[in-house]
Amino acid sequence: MMAPQLKAFLVFLVVAGIVILLFALAAWSTRRPRDVDYGAASRLRKRFLVVLALLLLASLGLTLPRMPYAKEEQIPDKVVFVAGKQFAFGISDSAITNGDQWEQASSSTPVQIPAGGLAEFRVTSFDVNHGFAIFSPGGQLLAQTQAMPGYVNRLRVRLDQPGRYSVLCLELCGMEHHSMRGVFDVR
């Protein structure tokens, strides 16, 4: 199976090739001066606009239903509490409201999330802004939100692939930012 990044790169190459071909055809067709029928050109532009609008609507119709994020009215199967603090994430089944709870959450066994279930991460921070990013067992970025002091962000995501997921900080938060990690398991 081809990685999504490789698929996106191949789609980019195909689209870029088509654009280059169209520019080459336009340059080739304007080698010699000729009279322009402005009425025909206007009709062609209108058709082109309609085709582009239909392509946009079709692509939206095909991609929006496949978004990985859950609808707001769905009740999550699992609520996971996350608190960032330089330089680790505390991830727990219960709320993390103080340093002792954070210490326990950051050093305990990983939280278990049911595969295919809707998980809601309630993310905050005890010190500075952190980027809370969930990576699949294969290392692909799946979802992210901000961990901010005094505020709880809710990130809902459905995780289908069983395994150990990594959480990394995506916002430079200090000298040990590169080591700021957390983990949880999907079973």
* List of residues 6+ apart from 171 with CB closer than 8 A: 129, 130, 131, 146, 177
* List of residues 6+ apart from 128 with CB closer than 8 A: 86, 149, 173, 174
Q: Judge whether residue 130 has pLDDT over 70.
A: yes
The DSSP bridge partners found for residue 130 are: 147
The DSSP bridge partners found for residue 40 are: none
- The angle subtended at Cα 24 by Cα 19 and Cα 28, nearest 5°, is 150
8 A C-beta contact, residue 126 and residue 106: no
Average pLDDT on 101-118 reads 90
Which of 3.20.20.140, 2.30.290.10, 2.60.40.420, 3.40.50.620 would CATH assign to domain 78-186?
A: 2.60.40.420
- Cα gap 132→155, rounded to integer Å: 10
Average pLDDT on 86-101 reads 91
- Going from N- to C-terminal start, the domains of the chain cover 39-68, 78-186
Mean pLDDT across the chain, nearest whole number? Answer: 91
What does the CA dihedral 86, 88, 92, 94 come to, rounded to 10 degrees?
-10
Average pLDDT on 144-172 reads 93
pLDDT at 69: 65
Average pLDDT on 97-104 reads 90
- Residue 179 binned pLDDT confidence (cut-offs 50, 70, 90): confident
Q: What is the pLDDT of residues 23-79, one digit of tens each?
A: 999 889 888 888 888 999 999 999 999 999 999 999 999 888 877 666 677 788 999
pLDDT at 5: 83
Q: Judge whether residue 147 has pLDDT over 90.
A: yes
pLDDT at 110: 93
- Cα gap 180→187, rounded to integer Å: 24
Average pLDDT on 74-95 reads 92
8 A C-beta contact, residue 118 and residue 71: no
Q: Could you tell me what percent of the chain has a pLDDT over 70?
A: 97
pLDDT at 66: 76
